[in-house]
Amino acid sequence: MARGQKLMEPERLGELLDRHAAALELFARQWCDVPEDVVQEAFLKLAGLAEPPDEPAAWLFRVVRNGAMDAGRASRRRRRHEAAMEAAGWFERSAGTIEPEDAAEALRALPDSEREVIVAHLWGGLSFEQIAAMTSSSSSSAHRLYARGLELIRERLGVTCRRTRRDPT
């Protein structure tokens, strides 16, 4: 540590925690579902600073606000991704429908290599060439894994794959 720099005293950190933790959690709750985690991370950042801020309470509120907003965005992205993973719109059953949970479970049950290719291609929008580069394999291997994975999903669910016509233009 450089000369003249000092860490915050543990007693002062404890005082700030006792005085502001509940309010910081309430403050963070408006942006995210994990306010306790965000507040804890803010206090850890504060404890790790080489030079304490002049206004530690204001600093904590700013850090909690930024952390909560980031956590909220991450949570929304995760929920959208999970919802997409559970959507089974490319399957059709002659009678009835497939529950999204069943399709998600069939996807989870795949070997890692097949699941990785299917998710990268269908939800990631990657081409088989891009998947091949990512997995250090050939595009034909990526395509085989994709086709095998879809076949395993169809077998597990007892469905056939919807046939779609691609627009040649």
pLDDT at 166 over 70: no
Please, which residues have CB within 8 angstroms of residue 102's CB and are 6 or more apart in sequence?
88, 157
Give the confidence band of 134 by pLDDT, cuts at 50, 70, 90.
confident
Q: pLDDT digit string (tens) for 8-22?
A: 888 999 999 999 999
Residue holding tokens 């990785």? 116
From 84, 118, 145, the end of a domain falls on: 84
User: In this structure, are 139 and 108 located in the same domain?
Assistant: yes
Better pLDDT: 163 or 122? 122
User: In this structure, are 112 and 132 located in the same domain?
Assistant: yes
Q: How far apart are CA 121 and CA 69, in angstroms?
A: 30
CATH number where 140 lies: 1.10.10.10
| Average pLDDT along the chain | 84
Q: What is the pTM of this model?
A: 0.50
Q: pLDDT digit string (tens) for 31-83?
A: 999 999 999 999 999 999 999 999 999 999 999 999 999 999 999 888 887 77
Q: What is the DSSP string of 5-65?
A: --PPPHHHHHHHHHHHHHHHHHHHHTT-S-HHHHHHHHHHHHHH-SS--SSHHHHHHHHHH
> Domain span at residue 31?
10-84
Q: How many structural domains is the chain composed of? A: 2
Assign residue 35 a region (left: φ > 0; alpha: ψ between -120 and 50; beta: otherwise).
alpha
User: In this structure, are 152 and 110 located in the same domain?
Assistant: yes
